[in-house]
């Protein structure tokens, strides 16, 4: 789907639907790929000619996705790839998908251009509310540019408890 500028979004709140862990391929950087291979084996990834991808189960879902009482929980909480951490947002230093005025986000004395994948079911459409503009979005930008690792506002509110990863049956944390 074509990304839309952040100013069209009232707020965002992950509803743990798991759609993004089923319908998309997660692209890994080399460091992320190495970490996964060391911890879970090369079969947890899909190396292709042009990209390194996160592995999938036979049903097409991410091999680290856990289902729990109707919700979906990531089993890679402390090793989550950057692409997963900032989904559904996309942060650029130029207006890559147009609508520059609506995508512009001035933060930390810099101009960022932030877009959102409209397929995410956790989006609420409308005029951005204060919490979204001043807490959620800045945290996504900080994570995207590497200034922050831990996520408070930019992740699901469901409380993660140590669980067993279904992929290889080993404890994740
Ligand atoms: S980020 Fe969006 S698509 Fe992914 S699980 Fe949360 S609500 Fe669903
Ligand atoms: S690593 Fe976690 S967030 Fe990323 S696709 Fe897999 S289950 Fe979803």
d(CA 157, CA 155): 6
Q: Which two tokens stand for residue 131?
A: 């919490």
**Total residues found in the chain within this entry:** 173
**Which atom of ligand 1 lies closest to the CA of 21?**
4
pLDDT for the residue 7: 98
DSSP alpha helices (H): ranges in 67-145? 82-86, 100-103, 130-131, 137-144
* pTM of the predicted protein model: 0.88
**Domains in the chain: boundaries:** 4-144
pLDDT tens digits for range 8-30: 999 999 999 999 999 999 999 99
What is the distance, to the nearest Å, from the Cα of residue 121 to the centroid of all Cα atoms in its chain?
13
Q: Say if residues 11 and 136 touch (Cβ distance below 8 Å).
A: yes
pLDDT tens digits for range 99-136: 999 999 999 999 999 999 999 999 999 999 999 999 99
Query: Judging by DSSP bridges, how do beta strands 89-92 and 110-116 pair with one another?
Result: antiparallel
19 ligand 1 Cβ < 6 A: yes
pLDDT for the residue 68: 83
DSSP state for residue 6 in the 8-state scheme? G
100 CA → ligand 2 middle, Å: 30
Alpha-carbon torsion (53, 117, 57, 149), positive or negative: positive
100 ligand 1 Cβ < 6 A: no
Phi, psi (degrees; rounded to nearest 5) at 86: -100, -5
Q: Taking all residues of the chain, what is their mean pLDDT, rounded to a whole number?
A: 90
pLDDT for the residue 159: 54
The closest residue, in CA terms, to atom 4 on ligand 2 is 84
pLDDT tens digits for range 49-92: 999 999 999 999 999 999 888 889 999 988 999 999 999 999 99
The closest residue, in CA terms, to atom 3 on ligand 1 is 120
pLDDT for the residue 30: 96
d(CA 13, CA 155): 8
**Which atom of ligand 2 lies closest to the CA of 63?**
6
Q: Say if residues 56 and 109 touch (Cβ distance below 8 Å).
A: no
Q: Say if residues 155 and 78 touch (Cβ distance below 8 Å).
A: no
d(CA 95, CA 77): 31
d(CA 82, CA 27): 9
Closest residue by Cα to residue 136 from 146, 122, 151? 151
């Amino acid at each position: 789907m074509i990304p839309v500028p952040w100013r069209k979004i009232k707020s965002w709140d992950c509803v743990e639907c798991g759609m993004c862990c089923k319908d998309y391929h997660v692209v890994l950087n080399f460091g992320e790929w190495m970490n996964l291979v060391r911890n879970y084996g090369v079969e947890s990834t899909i190396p292709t000619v042009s990209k390194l991808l996160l592995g999938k189960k036979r049903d097409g879902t991410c091999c680290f996705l856990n289902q729990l009482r109707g919700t979906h929980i990531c089993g890679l909480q402390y090793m989550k790839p950057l692409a997963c951490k900032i989904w559904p947002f996309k942060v650029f230093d130029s207006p890559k998908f147009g609508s520059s005025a609506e995508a512009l986000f001035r933060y930390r004395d810099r101009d960022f251009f932030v877009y959102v994948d409209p397929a995410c079911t956790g989006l609420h459409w409308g005029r951005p509310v204060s919490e979204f503009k001043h807490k959620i979005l800045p945290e996504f930008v900080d994570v995207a540019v590497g200034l922050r690792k831990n996520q408070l506002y930019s992740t699901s509110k469901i409380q993660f408890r140590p669980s067993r990863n279904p992929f290889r049956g080993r404890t994740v944390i």
